[in-house]
Amino acid sequence: MNRRTLLIAPVLLAGPALAQRASAPPAAAPAERDRADLARIEAYLNGLITLRARFLQIAHNGAAAEGTAWIWRPGRMRFEYDPPEPLLLVADAGQFLMYDRELRAPTTLLVSRTPLGILLRPEVRLSGDVTVAGIERSGGFLRVTVFRTAEPNEGRLTLVFNPDPMELRQWAVTDAQRRETRVTLSRIETGLRFPAGLFQFNDPRFFEPGGFGLPQGG
């Protein structure tokens, strides 16, 4: 597995479940405090329309990469990796596109089959087809770990928030082999307007670094 695969694949794909692992036990019903925090998280995410931030991504083997992330809910996300990484990751119209600019190689998959798809839903609900595996409060942060109810062994997504005021600061994807990839956000801006072509695969500027006048690195 090359460095690029290590960097980008775990963020999207939880990976196949290990055959020897038993099905995950059902999660216990959340306590009253947990229910209140889950309601606050849902309200925050459902009220979040646009976000731009710098990101630092650390793969399970220590491989690191930085870049700029754009989120436009529902359904759209773009990860622009800083040079020399040639990677681009975009979600739109129900698809995730992974593109290697050096190899000119695109790969697509359904957003609904990825852990990050939970963040891009029109309505985020941490119940029903999403199961809450645990809530943790430590170091001044609020962490909630979730998985798709129908696929308990495919992997888990942990969202890390600053609780007051509520703000998404990090997420971690843990695959079925328990390999974790973390993405930490900084210089977060919300309520911005983005050019629609930033997320549209058929725009001629789409694959060009800085094609929309966007900052690269720094």
SS (H, E, C) the chain: CCHHHHHHHHHHCCCCCCCCCCCCCCCCCCCHHHHHHHHHHHHHHHHCCEEEEEEEEECCCCCEEEEEEEEECCCEEEEEECCCCCEEEEEECCEEEEEECCCCEEEEEEHHHCHHHHCCCCCCCCCCCEEEEEEEEECCEEEEEEEECCCCCCEEEEEEEEECCEEEEEEEEEECCCCEEEEEEEEEEECCCCCHHHHCCCCCCCCCCCCCCCCCCC
Cross-strand partners of 105: 100
For the cut 90, the answer to whether the pLDDT of residue 197 exceeds it is no
pLDDT of 155-186, one tens digit each? 889 999 999 999 999 999 988 788 889 999 99
Pairing of strands 105-110, 155-163: unpaired
Q: Does residue 137 or residue 5 have the better pLDDT?
A: 137
For the cut 70, the answer to whether the pLDDT of residue 123 exceeds it is yes
Tell me the C-alpha distance between 193 and 203, whole Å. 18
pLDDT for position 100: 84
